Structure 1
Amino acid sequence: MKKNSENFYIGADSGGTKCEILIERVSGEKINHVFPSIHYSLHGAKSFSEDFNRNLKTFLNQQDIDINKCLGICIGIAGARRRQDKVALKNSLSKYLGIKKIAIETDAMIAIYGAFGNNDGAILIAGTGSVLYAIHDGKLHRIGGWGKILGDQGSGYWIGKEALRHIVREFDIQPEPDSRSLLCKKILSETGLNPSNIIGHTFDWNFPIQEIAMIVLKCAGEKDNTSLKILDSASDDLVKHISDFFESTGRKKPLDLVFVGSLICNDNLYSRKVRKKIKKLFGRKINILKNYNSPAFGGLQLAKKYFNDMNYNEN
């Protein structure tokens, strides 16, 4: 079958577990798709590029779209903050995709550009990691985003790590399995962890600690006290990103805020806790937006901006 010969741009938002792409043909038609992704910080540029290339080309082939007709792609990638990361990713992706017009941004950059363009506003991200990005008086500010060892408070990884810390303490003080909390029992049954293997598994960088956050959410929904305490502490830490932003900038004006990331952009016990605390602490000073453009849309707009600009430096 002959592939569609129409030129197009791609915006992509790649987090720790999924990637959303938005394709726009020059005719204006848009195509949206989501596929699984791996985390760049854990797997490196080569493995990330292989995975992205396989998933993207599988979808393009299903749609009879020729990758060589791509006028430019901008990918927002979690963990790709440093220049050397962006260069390594661009070179690797160019090799696998077979195209040169590739721009690499952080997932936060495409999210804030998608939501606000060049206007003032903030995004609070809580997925695998956590960070707040804000445009204040035309300048970009970042609060948090220091990674899972130094930061990421209130994120999926942080919640998962806190849950694991609680269950190893239960191993110490509640040696009898029947005496342990619902959270401990659920984590052990759903992950295969036990007192004998938990150190080996969790010191393996590929163990998905962030996925334990969903078990915490489920247990909190069943009124498990340990899970509720973890989410309460996590929501305090996440909301503190906003307090730190106002303190660091001295901003007095109200600010529009967008939630980004699987933990808080969906309605659940945790996202409701975060919303409630923001309303209590900031009142009308923070306006949480319900309708806004996606990060993938931000990536698409940046792809069109960069590759319509003859002065864009691809390196």
Structure 2
Amino acid sequence: MQAYFIGIDGGGTSCRAAVADADGRIIGRGRSGASNILTDPDTALRHIEEATRLAFGEAGISADLSEASALLGVAGNNVGDAVSYVQARLPFRHSEIVSDGLIALQGALGDDDGAIGIVGTGTIFILRHADEIHYLGGWGFQVGDLGGGARLGHAALQESLLVHDRIRPGSALTAHILDEFAHDPRKIVDFARAARPGDYGRYAPIVVSFAAEGDAIALRLMKDAASHVDEALDAMARIDGGTGRLCLLGGLAEIYPSYLAERHRSRLVPPQGDALTGAVSLAVKAFRKEGA
């Protein structure tokens, strides 16, 4: 029977799947809904299967998933109970669950050594060096994610309250935010009480936009956020000597380079591919060895 390799990029908002033939060539792709194995594993399982069937459909293949092999990159892969629950119920002959960061690293750098910084709503930094994978950060908004969009938006709201209280001088950025809340600090407090990281992250593009116009507070917030990214990149450079390639991924990837230290800007290269292509590549590596 023809061997097929499936790569899956499972995210909190969507699940993407790609099917490759025996030569590792992607022949079909599919997308379905949220696939967070921590918060809703049963829905994740349904969407994983749906995205895979859509990928086979695009390839024009009617396949028996029980004869296919799949590698899934998902958040929460380090939570044993969730992984065990999902893996036991996947429809595939062979399957492996890895971190979404690992498939992003493979997609961006291929088999080469180097580092990626995923700078979106949150942040995580991943390094491959001498056949070892190192993870830095990724601890979530409450205690980590420094330099991420949620932290940037949170800082903008903090700054706006300081301006409202006349502790610090304001700017067009803080005026814009205070206008949104009708200059009522209680509305900001009410918002913050129920806000999730994505809610704070909605303010990050506003900070970026005002910084591009030279707003003093927005520029300071951007530089402060970028300093956290610099620190993480410095930590990785202490492992590999700062010699490998560096890719930035995520919603802030195109924004940060102009704010980073030159020692990091000079290493930046465009990613070779995305997380889904990375998942397919790892699937081929993992299951071709097994003769799947």
The TM tier, using the shorter chain, reads 0.7 to 0.9
- Shift in alpha-carbon separation, 1:30–1:157, aligned structure 2, 3 A: same
Superposed CA deviations along residues 82-112 of structure 1, whole A, max 9, x for unmatched, are 33343233235x1xxx334332111111122
Whether 1:290 aligns to 2:270 is yes
- Shift in alpha-carbon separation, 1:291–1:113, aligned structure 2, 3 A: closer
Task: Pick one of 255, 259, 273 that aligns with 2:244.
Answer: 255
Match in the other structure for 1:124: 117
Match in the other structure for 1:217: 208
- Shift in alpha-carbon separation, 1:60–1:110, aligned structure 2, 3 A: same
Whether 1:82 aligns to 2:79 is yes
Distance 1:81 1:186 in 2: 42
Matching residue's letter, 1:307: F
Q: CA deviation at 1:244?
A: 1.3
Distance 2:45 2:163 in 1: 41
> Is the CA contact 1:183–1:219 (under 8 Å) kept in the aligned structure 2?
no
Distance 1:289 1:223 in 2: 27
Q: CA deviation at 1:32?
A: 6.2
- Structure 2 gaps of 5+ residues are none
- Shift in alpha-carbon separation, 1:167–1:78, aligned structure 2, 3 A: farther
Distance 1:50 1:186 in 2: 43
Distance 1:39 1:154 in 2: 25
Matching residue's letter, 1:128: T
Matches within 5 A, 1:132-171: 132-170=125-163
> Is the CA contact 2:237–2:243 (under 8 Å) kept in the aligned structure 1?
no
Q: CA deviation at 1:302?
A: 1.5
Whether 1:243 aligns to 2:241 is no
Q: CA deviation at 1:299?
A: 0.7
> How many residues were matched structurally?
285
Q: CA deviation at 1:239?
A: 1.7
Compute the TM-score of the two structures, normalised by the length of structure 2: 0.78
Compute the TM-score of the two structures, normalised by the length of structure 1: 0.73
Q: CA deviation at 1:281?
A: 3.2
In terms of fraction of residues, the more helix-rich structure is 1
Matching residue's letter, 1:165: Q
Matching residue's letter, 2:211: A
Match in the other structure for 2:39: 43
Match of 2:141, SS? helix
User: Please, which moves more after superposition, 54-63 or 219-228?
Assistant: 54-63
Match of 1:197, SS? helix
Task: Pick one of 58, 68, 71 that aligns with 1:71.
Answer: 68
Task: Pick one of 198, 211, 217 that aligns with 1:226.
Answer: 217
Q: CA deviation at 1:243?
A: 0.8
Matching residue's letter, 1:273: S
- Shift in alpha-carbon separation, 1:147–1:256, aligned structure 2, 3 A: same
| Percent of aligned positions that are identical | 21
> Is the CA contact 1:232–1:273 (under 8 Å) kept in the aligned structure 2?
no
- Shift in alpha-carbon separation, 1:272–1:170, aligned structure 2, 3 A: same
Matching residue's letter, 1:75: L
Q: After the TM superposition, which segments of 4 or more aligned residues of structure 1 sit over 6 Å from their partners?
A: none
> Is the CA contact 2:120–2:250 (under 8 Å) kept in the aligned structure 1?
yes
- Shift in alpha-carbon separation, 1:76–1:151, aligned structure 2, 3 A: same
